[in-house]
Amino acid sequence: MEVRGPEHLLELPGGTVPSPSDLQVVRSVMSGLPPRARGMVSYPSSSEPRSGSVGVTSPAPSSPSTGAPHPKASQPAGSPGQGGDRADWKCPNCSAVLPKIGADGYVTCSFCHAVFTTGQPTVAPASALSEMMAGELALSIQGLSVLAGSKALVQDINLNVASNKVTAIIGPSGCGKTTLLRALNRMTELSGLKVRGQVLYGGRNIYGAGIDAVRVRRRIGMVFQRPTVFPSSIFENVAFGLRIDHEPEDVVERTVITSLKRAGIWDEVKDELDRPALTLSGGQQQRLCIARALAVSPKVLLMDEPTSSLDPIATQKVEDMIFELKQHYTVVIVTHNMQQAARVADLTAFLFQGKLVEFGLTKQIFESPREKLTENYITGRFG
Amino acid sequence: MRNQPGVARLSNPPGGMSLRQFFQWLSGAAVAMIPLYFIIAIVATLVYASGFQNFGWSFFSTNWNPNPNDPSVAAYGWFDFAVGSAITSAIALALAMVLSLGLAVCIVSFLPPFLSRLAAPVTDMLAGIPSVVYGIWGYVILAPYFSKVIDPWMVGTLGFLPGFNATPTQYAGGVGLILAIFILTIMVVPITTALVRDSLRSIPKELEEAGLALGATRWETMRRVKIPFIQRSIFSAGLLGFGRAIGETVAVFMVIGNEVTLPTSIFGGSTTMATLLVSQMDSAFTYPLLLKALVEIALVLMVISLSVNAIGLRLLGRKTVTGPGGIE
Amino acid sequence: MSGSVNRPAFAPASVADDLSARGFGRATRRILFDKWIGRLLPLLFIVVVFPILDMIWWIAQNALPTMTWSTLTTPLYGDVGGLYGAILGTTYLAGLALAICGVLGIFGGMYTAEYASPRTATFARLFGNILAGTPAIVIGYTGYFLLVLYTGWGTSIAAGAITLSVFMLPWVFRTTDLAFLSVPPTLREASLGLGATHRQYLFRVGFPVAFPRILTGIFIALAIGVGETAPLIFTAGWQLAPATSLTQGTSYLTGLIWTYFDEPANLGHLLALSFQAAFILFVIVIGLNVVVQIIGARYRRRLKGLFA
Ligand SMILES: Nc1ncnc2c1ncn2[C@@H]1O[C@H](COP(=O)(O)OP(=O)(O)OP(=O)(O)O)[C@@H](O)[C@H]1O
Ligand SMILES: [Mg+2]
């Protein structure tokens, strides 16, 4: 058994300069085949910690020479080398040392996914939760705050997003769900909001130095509350992301078809791909937007109340589709509709006044919430 | 929608005349149509002033010979001046559109917010500078500079192109088509920039965000989402700018050289329809036939600008055009 | 890798997942292209603003050294004297024209925004905008025939001012219309819902809220009136002595430049006067525009307050 310090999270995958054969892989990513079938290059976990090299502030001091040692062995909580009052948190479940980012509050252990409150080190071991989180992580949100001027819209969020699962974010209106979601692919900077903390994707902070938002958004796609089709044909809408990459025509065609199929709208539009997209119904437009987001082969799909402007039948279709999407993508969905969260999500996070109150299995959140706030919200006592 | 019938009913207090009735009384149809009355008055006056003089087909020719002594050979063909107008306006507009597209795109998408908030009013302000001010600057300051520096340099580098060759005597004064084009360009840029910029700003924000969320850069979102979205508005901005350029009189008059011929070179002096109306007026005071010809040319100019503006405004697809001071 | 604790790992990354902008590939090229566009486009401002700055520089250079207080207070006589007559003439012309187009434009705009049927309003706006695009010289011709010849007034301040007002009207009209349209509908519904008549709404609520913006329209029209030449050339006449009646012709600032800009060099004083007139015009017009921008910005802030 080997548990490593959090600097493991900061590891860079392999070499950074792609070789020609790697570019080949990029090409095949675009070909519209399921990502699993494409033999994606997976990098061996490097034993070389690259702390501080990618603009990510390494939270715990790491020993540069050897592989990251057991946190218990070399990194006792509150290591003196750090200076000042800065101490690290220690997970009560697995004893991993966690970077102390932000203020006290609810913390999710990056290693065993136990949720604990700092200062009260006795919180449920959450074995079913760790089971669910056992696979790979798509995103790791660490100490994330979003500020408008000096006002924090979202505060100190620590949350892991499991790969190939649907994670729902629920909470009362105005609690910052949209803001949090937009922070996950750097859309926040478009509305002039400041972001503190980290969002790790593939081990790298998407807000780190030298990381361009354009690349982030290619990997972490977004679907908005209201459908936003471009005033062009159905085909060209889906092809948008491929056209700006100057993909060859046959690749574009194949990818568009695969994306439309995955978005579950293929059967409805296959005979009229040249039709203006604006003539589609609202539900179709929304699925077209999802297809358009899928066409650039993202790993993570962020959805902000994707069904709130749709009728029940269209909603049903989108929900079915989200269920299918899990095979290939990681989905983070914001919803006001608790039934919807219960239906589609594997994991649920409850947000209240910009803070993460509780995170757990959807079933657990809805049936036996640990927090009073969550219970009040679920049972409809406010919000 | 603003003009609901239900609202109007509220304005009928028992007894006394409501403001609505007052307005109806005041105007018959509507005071709102005052601009229309003025347009009608302009056209009617000019038609009347022309005395319905028939100049025959030679009116639509390049034959301009306002011979006062022998009316039988007099001819009032205005095509030369139409060409002068077309050359100056079209080239100035083409340059202005390139500049203002770039400026508008820059203001909307590429400048940091505080600079963008500053740049918009500054370009608007340039639209307000009086044309005589441009004119005197062009005539007194620029013309010598053009004749000594710009014109010889352009003849040297572009002289092989048709229309770009000239002898030094042709551009000795510095005034001419090229200077008129330059001044017109500077005068039109603020107007077209404001129109394009407002159109770009009227695009729903969600559409832009959708483009960016797909991993497009600012430029790609601009080129592939926003510009196609306002194609029509851009075209209409061009038309409205053209209307301005073709009607501009004073500044062009001061720098174009006012030779009543079609120049062989872009560096030579020329006349546009609008400047003809001014430069020939002193003779026209004495020669009634020339006056009538000028009035009819003014009518032609009116019809051109009316149709260009009407088409442009229809295509713009917005209810109101914001002007200098462009608020919202 | 067994045991009670699962080791977290991020989803396997492909090369395409490398988020850094370094390296090769299309994305890098696209991002760089965008960066360079962002750097080069602002240079266009220099292309546009540089000539204007050059113009301001030269006009100030030619105007200021010989400008004294007496320039503003002595009338021109022959080729000696100052700008007094022209300033007075411009004041009369623009003031009178503003009075005319102010009344017509505010009523017209208010009617269009508040009373006219949607159809009428659409047409009213279209015609207003068409009138705004009508060549000034055509309006000048009309003024000459209608007001100078047919009425028998001769060239006079009255004829000039009325002609000028036609050119200024669309701006007042349009801004008044926009001003009433931009009154928050909630405010309107609230006051009407409280039982106010439409007239009470208009004068107690609508007009005060819209007023700053109507004022911007007035200032814009004034700037245009002060700076316009073409409608006046054939209507306002030309008289060097300061005008004493509306039936007289007058000199005016733009007309002064128009008249003397190509005077031979031996009448250098007149050229200097032209530059001084241009400088004064420039200051007035830019000043009015700055005021307009300031009012506009404050107005927007106030509206935001009304919405919040
Ligand atoms: N750009 C911004 N500047 C300032 N405040 C903002 C900004 N964007 C959002 N807010 C504020 O942040 C808070 C959270 O907004 P957000 O849209 O994230 O809420 P939400 O949970 O998505 O609400 P809803 O369920 O209604 O969609 C709100 O109070 C909102 O007013
Ligand atoms: Mg929201």
Q: Which alpha helices (DSSP H) does chain A contain, by range? A: 20-29, 71-74, 127-132, 177-183, 213-219, 234-243, 249-262, 266-269, 282-295, 312-325, 338-344, 362-367, 372-378
Beta strand spans in chain A (E): 89-90, 97-98, 106-108, 115-117, 136-148, 151-162, 166-170, 194-201, 204-205, 220-223, 300-304, 330-334, 347-352, 355-361
Q: Are residues A210 and A117 in the same domain?
A: no
Evaluate whether residue A29 is within a structural domain: no
Q: Are residues A267 and A345 in the same domain?
A: yes
Residue C83 is classified by DSSP as S
Query: Is CATH 3.40.930.10 what the domain over C91-302 is classified as, yes or no?
Result: no
Q: Kindly state the greatest CA–CA separation across chain B.
A: 81
Is A3's pLDDT higher than 70?
no
Q: C111 vs B250: CB contact, 8 Å cut-off? A: no
DSSP secondary structure string for all residues of C37-60? HHHHTTHHHHHHHHHHHHHHHHHH
| DSSP-derived pairing of the beta strands A330-334 and A136-148 | unpaired
Evaluate whether residue A36 is within a structural domain: no
Please list the residues that pair with A151 across neighbouring strands.
A148
CA distance C308 to chain B (A): 18
Q: Are residues A165 and A120 in the same domain?
A: no
Question: Across the interface, which of C6, C17, C30 has its CB nearest the CB of A214?
Answer: C30
Q: Which residues of A284-298 are buried (b: 16+ CB within 10 A; e: fewer)?
A: bbbbbbbbbbbbbbb
Q: What tokens does C215 get?
A: 């004022």
Rounded CA gap, C184 and C207, in Å?
Answer: 12
User: Judging by beta carbons within 10 Å of its beta carbon (0-12, 13-18, 19+), is residue A95 exposed, middle or buried?
Assistant: middle
Q: Does residue B290 sit at the C interface (CB-CB below 8 Å)?
A: no
Give the number of other CB atoms < 10 A from CB of residue B160: 8
Residue A243 is classified by DSSP as H
Rama region for B16: left / alpha / beta (φ>0; ψ in -120 to 50; rest): left
Q: Look at residues C220, C121, C165 and name the one whose alpha carbon lies nearest to residue B322.
A: C220
Q: C198 vs B321: CB contact, 8 Å cut-off? A: no
* Residue C32: closest C-alpha in chain A: A212
Q: Count of H helices and E strands in chain A?
A: 13, 14
pLDDT attached to residue A123: 37
Kindly state the average pLDDT of the residues A37-48. 32
Q: Map out the domains of chain B with their CATH numbers.
A: 71-316 (1.10.3720.10)
Domain range enclosing A78: 51-124
Half-sphere exposure of A90 (CA within 13 A, CB side): 13
For a pLDDT cut of 90, what percent of chain A falls above it?
Answer: 21
Summarize pLDDT for A234-266 with one digit per residue, the tens.
999 999 999 988 888 999 999 999 999 888 889
Q: How many domains does one find in chain A?
A: 2
* Residue A186: closest C-alpha in chain B: B213
Atom of ligand 1 nearest to the CA of A351: 21
Summarize pLDDT for A105-120 with one digit per residue, the tens.
566 666 666 666 654 3
Q: What tokens does B4 get?
A: 């609901």
pLDDT attached to residue C279: 93
Compute CA distances C227 → B136, B246, C231, whole Å.
13, 19, 11
Rounded CA gap, B318 and B199, in Å?
Answer: 9
Residue A67 identity (one-letter amino acid): G
| Stretches in chain B below the pLDDT threshold 50 | 1-15, 28, 323-328
C residues 27-66 near B, CB within 8 Å? 30-31, 33-34, 37-38, 41-42, 44-45, 47-49, 51-52, 54-55, 58-59, 62
Backbone angles phi, psi at A242, to 5 degrees: -80, -35
Q: Are residues A188 and A297 in the same domain?
A: yes
- Residue A174 CA to ligand 1 centre (angstroms): 5
Backbone angles phi, psi at B238, to 5 degrees: -60, -45
Three-state SS letters, chain B: CCCCHHHHHHCCCCCCCCHHHHHHHHHCCCHHHHHHHHHHHHHHHHHHHCCCCCCHHHHHCCCEECCCCCCCCCEECCHHHHHHHHHHHHHHHHHHHHHHHHHHHHHHHHCCHHHHHHHHHHHHHHCCCCHHHHHHHHHHHHHHHHHHHHHHHHHHHHCCCCCCCCCCCCCCCCCCHHHHHHHHHHHHHHHHHHHHHHHHHCCCHHHHHHHHHCCCCHHHHHHHHHHHHCHHHHHHHHHHHHHHHHHCCHHHHHHHECCCCCCCCCCCCECCHHHHHHHCHHHHCCCHHHHHHHHHHHHHHHHHHHHHHHHHHHHHCCCCCCCCCCCC
Query: Which residue, by CA, sits nearest to atom 26 of ligand 1?
Result: A173
pLDDT attached to residue A41: 30
Question: Could you tell me the sign of the dihedral formed by the alpha carbons of C294, C300, C306, C308, in that order?
Answer: negative
Q: Which alpha helices (DSSP H) does C64-195 contain, by range? A: 69-73, 84-114, 118-133, 136-143, 157-181, 185-193
Residue A331, SS3 per DSSP: strand
Greater pLDDT, A158 or C77: A158
Kindly state the average pLDDT of the residues A79-104. 55
Rounded CA gap, B256 and B248, in Å?
Answer: 12
* Residue B113: closest C-alpha in chain A: A192
Evaluate whether residue A181 is within a structural domain: yes
pLDDT attached to residue C138: 94
Q: A299 vs C2: CB contact, 8 Å cut-off? A: no
C residues 63-102 near B, CB within 8 Å? none
End-to-end alpha-carbon separation of chain C, Å?
57
CA distance A111 to chain C (A): 6
Q: A190 vs B212: CB contact, 8 Å cut-off? A: yes
Residues whose CB is less than 8 angstroms from the CB of residue B94 and which lie 6 or more positions away in sequence, other chains included: none
Evaluate whether residue A296 is within a structural domain: yes
Q: Look at residues A146, A132, A137 and name the one whose alpha carbon lies nearest to residue A346.
A: A132
Give the number of other CB atoms < 10 A from CB of residue A121: 12
Query: Which residue, by CA, sits nearest to atom 28 of ligand 1?
Result: A174
Q: Look at residues A74, A27, A75 and name the one whose alpha carbon lies nearest to residue A251.
A: A27
Atom of ligand 1 nearest to the CA of A176: 18
Q: Which of C142, C189, C220, C279 to mutate to test the interface with B (most CBs of B within 10 A)?
A: C142
CA distance C8 to chain A (A): 6
Is A13's pLDDT higher than 60?
no
Q: What tokens does A19 get?
A: 């070789």
Is A45's pLDDT higher than 80?
no
Q: How confident is the model at residue A36 (pLDDT cuts 50, 70, 90)?
A: very low
* Residue A297: closest C-alpha in chain B: B214
pLDDT attached to residue A121: 32
Summarize pLDDT for A252-304 with one digit per residue, the tens.
999 999 999 888 889 899 898 999 998 999 889 999 999 999 998 888 999 99
Q: Which of B18, B22, B31 to mutate to test the interface with C (most CBs of C within 10 A)?
A: B31
Give average pLDDT by consecutive 10-residue segment, chain C, 308 residues. Answer: 44 52 67 90 90 92 86 79 89 94 91 81 86 92 92 90 94 90 82 80 85 90 91 88 85 90 74 91 92 85 68
Query: Which residue, by CA, sits nearest to atom 18 of ligand 1?
Result: A176
Beta strand spans in C175-306 (E): none
Rounded CA gap, A90 and A94, in Å?
Answer: 8
Q: Look at residues C170, C280, C154, C162 and name the one whose alpha carbon lies nearest to residue C221.
A: C170
Summarize pLDDT for B126-162 with one digit per residue, the tens.
888 999 999 999 999 999 999 888 888 888 888 888 8
Q: Look at residues A229, A247, A227 and name the one whose alpha carbon lies nearest to residue A32.
A: A247
On whether the CB atoms of residues C128 and B35 are closer than 8 A, the answer is yes
Q: Are residues A216 and A100 in the same domain?
A: no
Least confident of A73-77, A94-98, B11-15, B122-126: A73-77
CA distance C304 to chain A (A): 17
Q: Are residues A210 and A283 in the same domain?
A: yes
pLDDT attached to residue A126: 55
Evaluate whether residue A145 is within a structural domain: no
Q: C15 vs A25: CB contact, 8 Å cut-off? A: yes
Question: Could you tell me the sign of the dihedral formed by the alpha carbons of B6, B7, B12, B18, in that order?
Answer: negative
Q: Does residue C79 sit at the A interface (CB-CB below 8 Å)?
A: no
ipTM above 0.85, yes or no: yes
Which residue carries 């350029």 as its tokens?
Answer: B245
Q: Does residue A246 sit at the B interface (CB-CB below 8 Å)?
A: no
Q: A299 vs C19: CB contact, 8 Å cut-off? A: no
* Residue B104: closest C-alpha in chain C: C41
Q: Does residue B262 sit at the A interface (CB-CB below 8 Å)?
A: no
Pocket test for ligand 1, best of A146, A150, A153 (most atoms within 8 A of CB): A153
Q: Are residues A250 and A347 in the same domain?
A: yes
pLDDT attached to residue C283: 93
Residues of C in contact with B274 (CB under 8 A): 135, 137
B residues 221-240 near A, CB within 8 Å? 224-225, 228-229
pLDDT attached to residue C204: 83
Rounded CA gap, B39 and A122, in Å?
Answer: 84
**Taking CB atoms and a 6 Å cutoff, what residues make up the pocket around ligand 1?**
A 148, 153, 171, 173-179, 191, 193, 336
User: Judging by beta carbons within 10 Å of its beta carbon (0-12, 13-18, 19+), is residue A326 exposed, middle or buried?
Assistant: middle
Which residue carries 């301009």 as its tokens?
Answer: B64
Q: Are residues A80 and A214 in the same domain?
A: no
CA distance C8 to chain B (A): 28
